[in-house]
């Protein structure tokens, strides 16, 4: 959800760069603790 909100606010170019950064960070360090929580969709 957070990435969709960023996309709406910041645009496609920013989100592509940010996703690339997050993927690199994940590959180097694993999943961030804040991403391990269940998404509050309802």
What is the chain's pLDDT, residue by residue, as a tens digit (42 residues)? 778 888 899 999 999 999 899 999 999 999 988 888 887 777
Question: Which residues lie closer than 8 Å to 23 by C-beta, 6 or more apart?
Answer: none
- Dihedral (Cα; 8, 16, 30, 34), 10-degree rounding: -10
Q: What is the pLDDT of residue 29?
A: 94
Q: What is the pLDDT of residue 30?
A: 93
With the C-alpha atoms ordered 25, 26, 28, 31, is the resulting torsion angle positive or negative? positive
d(CA 13, CA 29): 24
Q: What is the pLDDT of residue 3?
A: 80
Contact 35, 23 (CB under 8 A): no
Alpha-carbon 15 to chain mean position? 8
């Amino acid at each position: 959800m957070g990435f969709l909100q960023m996309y709406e606010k910041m645009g496609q170019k920013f989100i592509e760069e940010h996703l690339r950064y997050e993927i690199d960070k994940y590959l180097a360090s694993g999943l961030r603790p804040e991403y391990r929580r269940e998404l509050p969709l309802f």
